[in-house]
Amino acid sequence: MPWIKTVSPQESDEVREAMMAQRPLYPAAYAGSPESATRLPQAVLDESIVASHSLIPEALKHAFSTFGVLMNPALPLSRREHELIAATVSSLNACFY
């Protein structure tokens, strides 16, 4: 868990709604069935990175909605290109995510 306080979706309707609001924006490959949940990038799946935003639920909603929008298959880049960019940035930043 992060070094700041977090609020779980069980504790707060606002946090739960923020978490729910961003999910439908993810492409079909990401969201929906339990087995497809395992296909989410860990950067998003990991409760901790989402939870880190939970004291400001509107920021949580918009930050992760933005990510979902950017993964839209109707846009020019392929799934492989999304992942190449993500992995390269995280690697250059020497970041776990």
Contact residues: another protein, CB under 8 A: 1-4, 39-43, 46, 48-49, 52-53, 63, 66-67, 70, 75-77, 79-97
- Residue closer to another protein by CB (options 13, 80) is 80
Cβ–Cβ under 8 Å, residues 70 and 27: no
- Round to whole Å and give the CA distance between 70 and 26: 9
Write down the least CB distance from residue 54 to another protein, Å: 11
Write down the least CB distance from residue 81 to another protein, Å: 6
Write down the least CB distance from residue 20 to another protein, Å: 20
- Residue closer to another protein by CB (options 34, 80) is 80
Write down the least CB distance from residue 47 to another protein, Å: 10
